[in-house]
Amino acid sequence: MGFFDTLKRLIIEEERTGSHTTTGSEGEDALLEELEPRHITDEEFHELIQEGVTLVDFWAEWCAPCHVIAPSIEDLAREYGTQTNITKLNVDHYPHIAGELGIMGIPTVIVFKDGQEFKRFVGVQPYERFAQAVEEALQEGT
């Protein structure tokens, strides 16, 4: 079985079973849910990026590389979710946002600080690059 066949199988399995794992306690489940990337709309996007640090993963369901970086985005939410907004925006649902930002390929991950683009990544990147950008944005101006 090739890479994309395996990836497709995993995606189908995740959709069938749901990606949320229970821990046994409602409080722990709620905390884990809070520390997952937040799927946002176009209206939420404009509001969220205005203040503080917000990372936005621009993705689409059909995009295999988007699924490759998804675990890194989830890890960022767990690591920085209390200090930043770690979000995902589906470009198939909100193509005008991608157009506004000049996004030509996905995955594209953009870190915003106080309404301004701070750093942009296109394509698959390691977790450390995203984390470093978030750290730099958090430290700038403090």
pLDDT digits (tens, 9 = 90+) for 31-82: 445 689 999 999 999 999 999 999 999 999 999 999 999 999 999 999 999 9
Q: Is CATH 3.40.50.2020 what the domain over 37-139 is classified as, yes or no?
A: no
* Averaged pLDDT of the chain: 86
- Rounded Cα distance, 59 and 87, in Å: 11
pLDDT reported for residue 35: 81
CA-based nearest residue to 89, from 75, 104, 110:
110
Q: Do the beta carbons of residue 72 and residue 22 sit within 8 Å?
A: no
Q: Do the beta carbons of residue 60 and residue 92 sit within 8 Å?
A: yes
Sheet containing 108-113, strands listed edge to edge, beginning at the edge strand earlier in sequence: 38-39, 85-90, 53-59, 108-113, 116-122
Split at pLDDT 50, 70, 90, the class of 12 is low
Res 113 pLDDT > 50:
yes
pTM for the full predicted model: 0.77
DSSP 4-41: HHHHHHHHHHHHHH-SPPP-S-HHHHHHHHHTSPEE--
pLDDT reported for residue 7: 53
Q: Do the beta carbons of residue 61 and residue 92 sit within 8 Å?
A: yes
Catalytic residues: 63, 66
Spatial CB neighbours of 93, under 8 Å, sequence gap ≥ 6: 41
Split at pLDDT 50, 70, 90, the class of 21 is very low
Taking the mean position of all CA atoms in its chain, how far away is CA 123?
13
- Annotated domain spans of the chain: 37-139
